[in-house]
Amino acid sequence: MAAGEDERVGAQEEVLHGGNTGHVVRVADTVRRRAGHWTPAVHALLEHLAEAGFDAVPRPLGTDEQGREVLTYVEGVGGALGPQRLPTAFQTLDACRAIGAWLRGFHDAQEGFLPDPALPWRVSPGRPLRPGEVVVHHDVGTYNTVLRPDGSFAVIDFDFASPGDPLEDLAYILWSWTPLWHDPRAVRREMGEVTMADRLHKFAALVDGYGADAGQRARVTDAVLECMEGHARSVEELAAEGDPAFVRMHAEGHADRPRRDAAWFVRRRDLFAAAAAPDATR
């Protein structure tokens, strides 16, 4: 569906800030952003979610006269992408449980969705889902999350979605929201003072909010480490392909930092594994 019929003469474009990898503008109650070879696959997913009644994501509206994808604008307060301080409302244990619950809802709402194998994703070719897989968002950081006026969360920016293990999404949320960062200066700058006890409680709240089963809880620390290493590789690969945003990110150390985070996490892995255990005291 083309969005040309919804264009308004003289409509003003408001640049939306906070992302790392693309130019995004708001036009009235829509968002316009660069489309790519992955956009048809993403829009098929978002259309399925809309039909399933899952409204905590943008709804696709086709493309505009400039070939940009058009999505509904999600009202609310956006999470920060440093160096801005993350709003306090994103840092509570209730917020951690809520974003974990959002992830469970997102995965469950995909029931019956069959990706078209002919439609490629941004970082992988199209293919059917394997047993136990869903389409993974892969980037549910605080910066891609909107706190809506009713107090619920919505998530935006599905550019890196592709089929995978549901734990890949949970691992990324744990990394971003706990946060599992090696650099205490970055933690203080973006989240204030966060103690190890705070991180352990948040880690547990996220896993609980998702409703992870015993098997997922047992594998979650492995998934976190795989997520960090996979993120580093993706930045390197996309930079090597010449993607301007990732060339810049690579130069800024966005491939090195995940590996430092992984080294930090490995030394504390047993603590987080215990926090995620089904019989852990909350």
Q: Is the pTM of this model over 0.85?
A: yes
Mean pLDDT taken over the chain: 91
Radius of gyration (C-alpha) of the chain in whole angstroms: 19
204 within 8 A of 276, measured Cβ to Cβ: yes
Pick the CATH number of 4-72 from 1.10.10, 3.30.200, 2.60.120, 2.30.30: 3.30.200
Residue 17 pLDDT > 50: yes
CATH architecture of 77-276: Orthogonal Bundle (1.10)
- Every domain range in the chain assigned CATH 3.30.200: 4-72
Nearest CA to 47 among 28, 66, 18, 69?
69
* Beta strands across the sheet bearing 153-155: 77-78, 145-147, 153-155
φ/ψ of 248, rounded to 5, equals -65, -45
Q: Residue range 22-37: average pLDDT?
A: 92
Question: At 22, is the pLDDT very low, low, confident or very high (cuts 50, 70, 90)?
Answer: low
Question: Does residue 35 or residue 80 have the better pLDDT?
Answer: 35
Q: Give the residue-averaged pLDDT of 276-281.
A: 79
